[in-house]
């Protein structure tokens, strides 16, 4: 995904997560037969379902934000390590990162002496947060 599209998508996700409960109530107003009257006469259990749905939406949006941020950080680190910008990291490229250099053979899936983006992502996900 291109940087501009990614930034726009992140903005949409943030806005959707903030307004998720309001979107649920709006959807309920549109779907329920008599709209506002039905919500006014709803008991606590009905409101609980709406709040639960809003919380689930908020959780999903939050998970997407965390996932997108992690993927963006992995891509930035890969780009920084890939000195010749050929799309691969060699043992020489990772000489400033001892942990990666030590684990290099384990994550080099095709044993060609280079780590692809997928190999590097596997390393990042297997390594505890620094």
Structural domains of the chain, count: 2
- Same domain for 42 and 93, yes or no, is no
CA–chain centroid gap for 4, Å, is: 16
Q: Is the Cβ–Cβ distance between 74 and 115 less than 8 Å? A: no
* Domain containing residue 105: 83-130
- Same domain for 77 and 96, yes or no, is no
Q: So what's the pLDDT on residue 34?
A: 67
Task: Note the maximum CA span of the chain.
Answer: 69
- Model pLDDT for residues 6-49, shown as the tens digit of each residue: 667 777 777 777 777 777 777 777 776 665 666 666 676 667 77
- Same domain for 27 and 76, yes or no, is yes
- Same domain for 58 and 30, yes or no, is yes
- Same domain for 75 and 116, yes or no, is no
């Amino acid at each position: 995904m291109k940087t501009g599209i990614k930034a726009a998508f992140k903005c949409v996700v943030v806005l959707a997560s903030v307004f998720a409960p309001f979107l649920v109530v709006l959807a309920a107003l549109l779907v329920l037969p008599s709209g506002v009257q039905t919500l006014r006469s709803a008991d606590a259990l009905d409101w609980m379902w709406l709040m639960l749905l809003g919380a689930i939406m908020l959780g999903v949006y939050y998970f997407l934000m965390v996932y997108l941020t992690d993927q963006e950080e992995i891509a930035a680190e890969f780009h920084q390590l890939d000195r010749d910008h050929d799309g691969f990291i060699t043992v020489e490229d990772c000489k400033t990162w001892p942990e990666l250099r030590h684990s290099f053979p384990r994550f080099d899936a095709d044993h060609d002496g280079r780590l692809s983006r997928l190999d590097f992502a596997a390393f990042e996900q297997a390594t505890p947060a620094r």
